[in-house]
Structure 1
């Protein structure tokens, strides 16, 4: 009988052990943490951006750049450093506004015209170089000098502006060199305040960035919209005008033998200002003819692209137990870019294990150079807790849920 009892006790013990193990496993399976839902993002359709860029007609001659408020300019023609003529005055204007911390409604510091200033003015005038006349002992503010330099394109007032803000032209040139590098134009070189020196040069790509900065500067944009034809006691023509019949805000319009015809303009497109630059044009007839094609192509080819509409499916949430629910946008989003590669998106979601229908779960972030938009997303359906069958999966899965 002893062997039989031992067998019975062994069987009872094994049964009890199995019962304990089964109970532990059942408890572990039922009480194990539910894995978090996994987000899966859908790629945005931005192919139309490349088509918009391709529709812009860049002139064959010289060099051209077109710049949106964000991102790299598109360019055509020569990529070499070229003389920039009066565009150097636009560099001066932006650096001076920055240095003087000039704001709308503020006039900045004042300088008094002396005999040396008049002598310099006479020398420029004798050489047939454009000036805005100043008089002995007149007081000129930084704002007056800015108007005369940008709109009147006065070469003497450009030099006076450099003196008023920086103390001297040399001090201005030193600051301008740093400013150009800091603002993404490392290959631009200015050796004077006016651009009369042919050694003031830039690649057209850098000038596209310059136009982009001009479009973003509220003081300069206000000046280009108002286009005053008087500063202090001096009156002058609008010498920065470029294709006004096309609705363009001219920021620089100049010619030298070394540089050819050079334009910088801001083209209104909806609520945005698109910067455009043409340099090295052989003459005004060719330059103005090219404008008649370039500007309309910008106005028609540059459009914000709606990459997300309300109700669009922008991703999904999936569960380990086989349930999937779509994520839909509850806000629209548009981007303005020339290159689809400049647009990036990512889902930023709260960690969740279950969701209800219509529940806000996070956002879709859409990033373009210099800007990030956030679009709220919610669920189009529900994912509930898994059933008993899934919870009693194989032991390794249950153990893995506890280890996670």
Structure 2
């Protein structure tokens, strides 16, 4: 006897009910939950305002810190995109290239350099045109160290030519070797046309001049000439006038100071600032400045603002709220920086905070769920983010009444 239609319907409904209880229920109660939604607090993520480094509007300028390897870490620059005449700062190249080719032993003054008729004629010619010179006489002998001191401290143009011709055979040979040396050492803008800097074709940027200054200070032969560490002069050492000295009463050591029609005032200097209770060497360069009434306040402001900019800035505040997470069932918790972070910004522009939260569905209060990171110049400053409240499981009633969200979460987890 065949079952009646009503019985068939009843059996089907009963089977569906059993399937619903046996499959739907466990699937909803045990299935994955949807991940929390993240909302970033844009106000808290806004970049902090570090102290600015003051640089002049006239000419081009740059300041840098000297690191432990003796290399310049550029901190700030102004109007320094294109190469411009650098004046007597070209003598820093003359000295560096010479000692790289003909290094001096620490306890030696080097070979004797005889002053020839051409050297004397060079001295007379520069003297007539009013350029810086240091007197020489035919037949004299100068040591390599003394000639280097004359080039750097007396900014002597005749000694720069003498040094270049002695070391490389001629000034033209020196120019070729010097530009090859600059390329080899990664200088993209600094190029020389003579040993003195008098030509307007000696060009570079202030930023790359700070690199040269740091290299000079790091050199075991040249650095002590600016540090006062040479000790008492030996009886046979010449007394070289320090004509480039400027602002030394303000603890600023001039490394090059010159004026030419093409370059105007060019000034390369070094000073010391305190960073986190540690003395740090800084270097600076300014080119194309019209007069000392402009230069001197600009140099002092640059050094003072470097010191101010070295003070730690609160980049990330402990307990700062960087956003919020919210579950599909309504639980909320704030994203809180677990640790504060400070750093010396040195005027570097900070980016807005970047918040990265790991995907999750439930979590206890205090759990670290991501990081907040601020890009500061070339450095990243980060702190962990934790929840200030719990995101709990919503319970069976919510699960059973929101199948669509649970199915979407299941599919997303298996995609």
Q: With structure 1 as the length reference, what TM-score do the two structures score?
A: 0.72
Partner of 2:68: none
SS at match of 1:255: strand
| Corresponding position of 2:258 | 254
Q: In 1, distance between residues paired with 2:245 and 2:110? A: 27
Q: Deviations over 1:365-384 (max 9, x none)?
A: 33233322333443333333
Distance 1:178 1:218, change over 3 A: same
Match 2:199 to one of 180, 197, 200: 197
Larger Rg: 2
Runs (5+) with no aligned partner, structure 2:
66-72
- Separation (CA, whole Å) in 1 of partners of 2:135 and 2:377: 39
Aligned position for 1:366 = 374
Separation in 2 of the partners of 1:9 and 1:360?
57
Aligned to 1:329: 338
Quickly say closer, same or farther: Cα 1:367–1:245, change in 2 above 3 A: same
Alignment partners' CA distance in 1, 2:16 and 2:31: 21
CA deviation profile, 1:160-211 (whole Å, cap 9, x unmatched): 48986999442221231454xx45x44x432234312221123xxx213532
Distance 1:260 1:36, change over 3 A: same
1:125 maps to which of 101, 123, 126: 123
Between 238-247 and 211-220, the greater mean CA deviation after superposition: 211-220
**Aligned 1:39-58 pairs, distance under 5 A:** 39-42=38-41, 43-46=44-47, 48-49=49-50, 52=52, 56=54, 58=56
The question of 1:25 aligning with 2:24 is answered yes
Q: Which residue of 1 aligns with 2:177?
A: 171
Counterpart residue number, 2:209: 210
Structure 1 residues 244-253 or 278-287, which shifts more?
A: 278-287
CA RMSD of aligned residues (A): 4.5
Q: Deviations over 1:294-325 (max 9, x none)?
A: 65566557755322233333444443443223
CA distance in 2, matches of 1:301, 1:321: 48
Question: For 1:135 and 1:360, how far apart are their aligned partners in 2?
Answer: 76
Give the whole-Å Cα distance in 2 for the aligned partners of 1:94 and 1:125. 22
| Unmatched 5+ stretches in structure 1 | none
After superposition, the Cα gap between the structure-2 partners of 1:386 and 1:297, relative to the gap in structure 1 and judged at 3 Å, is: same
Query: Residues 67 and 295 of structure 1: is their aligned pair in 2 closer, same or farther, counting only changes over 3 Å?
Result: closer
- SS of 2:52's partner is helix
Distance 2:215 2:35 in 1: 44
TM-score by length of 2: 0.71
Question: Does structure 2 conserve the Cα–Cα contact (< 8 Å) formed by 1:304 and 1:336?
Answer: yes
Alpha-carbon contact 2:315-2:374 (below 8 Å) kept:
no
SS, match of residue 33 in structure 1: coil
Q: Are the structure 2 counterparts of residues 67 and 314 from structure 1 closer, same or farther at C-alpha, using a change threshold of 3 Å? A: farther
2:246 is the alignment partner of 1:242: yes
Deviation at 1:63, TM superposition (A): 0.8
Q: 2:61 aligns with which of 52, 65, 68?
A: 65
How many residue pairs get aligned? The number is 381
Find the partner of 1:380 among 370, 373, 388: 388
Pair 1:85–1:269, CA change in 2 (3 A) = same
Q: Whole-Å Cα distance in 1 between the matches of residues 86 and 133 of structure 2?
A: 16
